[in-house]
Chains A and B, each alone.
Chain A
Amino acid sequence: MKKNILAQAIALALMASPLAASASEAELLKRLDKLAAEVEQLKAELAATKKKTDTVEQRQDALAAAPAAPAAVAVAAAPAAAAPVSMAAASPATMLGPNTVLSSYGEVNYTRPRHDSSKAQTDVARAVIGITHRFDEKTKMVAEFEWEHAVTSASDKGETEVEQLYVEREFNNGLRAKGGLFLIPAGLLNTNHEPTAYYGVYRNFVETAIIPSTWREAGLGLSQTLDNGLSWDTGLTTGFDLSKWDASSTDGRTSPLGSIHQEGQMAKSHDLSVFGALNWRGVPGLLLGGSVFTGKVGQKTPDFAAQDARLTLWDLHARYTPGKWDLSAVYARGTISNTEALNQTFAGQPTPVPSSFYGWYTQAAYQLWKNSDYALTPFVRYERFNTANGYAAMPAGLAVATGPNEGVWTTGLNFNVGEGVVLKADYQKFKVDTARDRFNLGLGYAF
């Protein structure tokens, strides 16, 4: 019986893979990880888990390359009583036609500061529509369009943005090449940022303040997944624009890179950046990886005092999902060089350009209860980060105090309704800026 369920799950995952391809590659791999975890639970079937998983990957790639229509038919014909995990794989996305898939995610959040309830706030934080179109078995287009904060107009705080827009082509040797606007493979969350994919109402601070998720650049990328579980990514893209730095604003303190990213909006491209990422999934449920991104950020801006400034951001990440556990950790560190002259022009201003910033977190979640429709997963996370860890030297008397090493405990739970909807609640306790202590509630979905 168990074997049958497993077989069904794998079969459905494989059949649904062309649909899953509408999500990011990382999303696909995450689902695969989850599948592997399920497999692990079925001890009788675990003898050849690794081989099976590798096989799954290979066959999935092969199936993803196959025309979508037959797969869609297969999904439609799949028995409704399939295991939940297979439902998860089968449920995403809506077919618009034989080769085009619609997807979406969104979240609505409520926040209540512990010490100042007058600042309680509800926000339709984001609504995203994704469209994936497969031109042929090897070529697809992926687009995501996002609205933030419900309203976008000249006098509102909302944003409308193209979050991804790229074309990907696969080659016979497993290489994939893509061009356009795509997410940089840094950390655990940037390429896997749907609200159903992370714990807590808000994305963690390390992967928003240090890694500016959702971080995308326009350019070219090349990637490959090897049979041994290793995958690599590399590319040449646009980078950051340091001339956007506003020393009078708090934006640079909130997220140094978030304040100078270009998001494909008429991005200055004199100086391009390069990135590389390595991830290893050789053991079921385990992901080990790291990334680096570097490029000059002066962009040859006329009359700019930091022409030679260079940004480098790197991270190490790990995730392990044995059984009901979901354990993860990320360390990320950024540096910006050659900012001495620029920071002198900001003398006396509150937010000069930091020479270094960093953050790390560790997180543990445990699936406490689950039935066919629901799953309850409490979690706890500790983060430590500093967006202004250091500054280039300034003349005597003008030195700027570095920022605090903020520490944040977040504890709460995710309550999944099926695989596409999540209700969240958490409490966040700040070590330094205790005025930020807050309760959060969230509703999210993704398909």
Chain B
Amino acid sequence: MSQNNVAAQIRVRKKIGLPLAFAMAGLLAACGGGGGNSASTPITPAPDSGLSQVASLGKKIFSDQSLSASGKQSCATCHNPDNAHAQSNDLAVQLGGANLDVPGFRAVPSLRYLNLTPAFFFASDGTPTGGFNRDGRANTLADQSQRPFLAPHEMANGGKADVIVKLKQAAYVEEFRQVFGAAILDNSDDAFNRIQLALQQYQKEDAEFHPYDSKYDQFLAGKVPLEAAELRGLALFNNPTKGNCVACHLSAKGSDGSSPLFTDFTFDNLGVPRNPAIAATADPAYYDLGLCGPDRTDLSNRSELCGKFKVPTLRNVATRKVFFHNGYFKTLREAVSFYVKRDTNPELWYPADASGVAQKFNDLPEQYRKNVNVTEVPYNRQPNMPPALSDSEVDDVVQFLGTLTDGYKAQ
């Protein structure tokens, strides 16, 4: 259970449960089988993938369920390539552990389009920016990959050495040795470190994680038009006085021609309702405060950051089964409606107290509710004001968000 010495400043350990060996059968079989018979043959890049040897190993590790305590859970279980590398079920949090019955704490984020995420930093104006995990506490994709192997509610290995014991049984262990050295498995920390590097390299190299082939990408390239409703949705998305989504979810190409990632890597506190579907919330004293804890500990004294979570990319958002860090919402339309009616109709989202008044921002301790963003459009409303978007405009925005799904084929 030793800490990863590469990720020095990053506290580790975290949640995101995962159960269910899902139906990525073809992929998994393909990944799990290769490399086992190559004891002395030179390792060459897999002819079909174009990946480096390290990345090719990462691909196998990504889908290897045998590296979990249950033997039934891999990275791909929760980050299903067939579902834009996010969860395939609609559970708010996933189940893990040796018996796949330990609930997690946060919803599964997609692993798509993370390769350009910068390490966590405070911008010159003090804005927290970047980092991996919903609280930004991992600085690299490699750092990020440590937690799932070791967290009790995920793959639940007792320590790095446990993982390496399992790795030694893997079909691709000889390939692992050849790539990283014959003695690499003699030191568990070193070997585990290479697993992390391999997973990072896989995510960086394999275009599956960042294909930029959504309808919107093709529209930006001038190759396909958007439908009228989609275009109206884009206009509402971009309009600073309407959806203003673009304030955090950047939608235009960069000045260097780079494709938009639909996130500015910042953090925000939206006051998402408490989700009783998360087991931990049974304890009234339990609060997930994002940047200031409990998983992240280095900013625990920065009370103004409490309740802030990373702005995720909206690419493939229409394929998500649950939304926001606690998975409270199950549909995209509901999630968009929450943005515009959170303050005009709080009774739609929050439970009423004894006197019948909606308990706004009920997933935050009283002292942190002032941290919720109530100034930016569209959150700058009061009860009895019209929401920033009408119902039909919400529909248009949802239509537009549908264009962000990868793999679009023009009719």
Which residues of A line the B interface, CB within 8 A?
A: 155, 243-244, 246-248, 301-307, 341-342, 344-350, 395, 397-398
Contact = CB atoms under 8 A, between A and B. Distances in A.
Contacts of A341: 222, 225
A397 B242 CA distance: 14
Contact of B246 (A248, A307, A398): A248
Q: Identify whether the interface residues of A are mostly helix, strand, loop, or mixed.
A: loop
B252 A246 contact: yes
Contacts of B265: none
A421 B224 CA distance: 58
Nearest to B238: A348
B231 A395 contact: yes
Nearest to B216: A345
A244 B257 CA distance: 8
A306 B225 CA distance: 13
Contacts of B226: 344
Contact of A304 (B222, B234, B236, B239): B222
Interface of B: 124, 217, 219-222, 225-226, 228, 231-232, 234-240, 242-243, 246, 252-253, 255, 257, 259
Contact of A349 (B219, B220, B252, B255): B252
Nearest to A155: B124
Contacts of A349: 238, 246, 252
B222 A346 contact: no
A302 B217 CA distance: 12
Contact of B221 (A246, A304, A347): A304
Given A303-B220, A398-B232, A346 B238 contact: yes
Given A341-B222, A342-B222, A244 B232 contact: no
Tell which of A303, A306, A342, A347 has the most Cβ of chain B within 10 Å: A347
Nearest to B253: A243
A350 B246 CA distance: 12
Given A347-B235, A350-B240, A395-B231, A247 B252 contact: yes
Contact of A344 (B221, B231, B240, B259): B231
Contacts, number: 65
B237 A348 contact: yes
B324 to A, nearest CB: 24
B257 A304 contact: yes
A348 B257 contact: no
Contacts of B259: 303
Contact of A348 (B222, B225, B239): B239
A16 to B, nearest CB: 45
A348 B236 contact: yes
Max chain B CB contacts within 10 Å: which of A246, A301, A305, A349? A349
Given A248-B246, A395-B228, A348 B252 contact: no
Contacts of A304: 221-222, 257
Contacts of B235: 347-348, 397-398
Given A155-B124, A246-B252, A398-B231, A345 B246 contact: no
13 contacts: A155-B124, A243-B257, A248-B252, A302-B221, A303-B257, A344-B219, A344-B231, A347-B231, A347-B238, A348-B237, A348-B243, A348-B246, A349-B252
A243 B221 CA distance: 11
Contacts of B217: 303
A302 B321 CA distance: 34
Nearest to B230: A347
Given A346-B252, A348-B238, A303 B221 contact: yes
A57 B366 CA distance: 83
A304 B257 CA distance: 8
B220 A305 contact: yes
A307 B239 CA distance: 26
A90 to B, nearest CB: 47
A301 B239 contact: no
Contacts of A303: 217, 220-222, 257, 259
Contacts of A305: 219-222
A397 B222 contact: no
A248 B219 CA distance: 18
B124 to A, nearest CB: 7
Given A246-B252, A304-B257, A398-B231, A345 B237 contact: no
Nearest to A246: B255
A345 B215 CA distance: 12
A178 to B, nearest CB: 31
Sorted nearest first, the 6 A-B pairs with minimum C-beta distance are: A348-B238, A305-B222, A348-B235, A303-B221, A347-B235, A348-B239
A312 to B, nearest CB: 21
Contacts of B222: 303-307, 341-342
A347 B245 CA distance: 13
A346 B235 CA distance: 8
A345 B220 contact: yes
Contacts of B246: 248, 348-349
B12 to A, nearest CB: 33
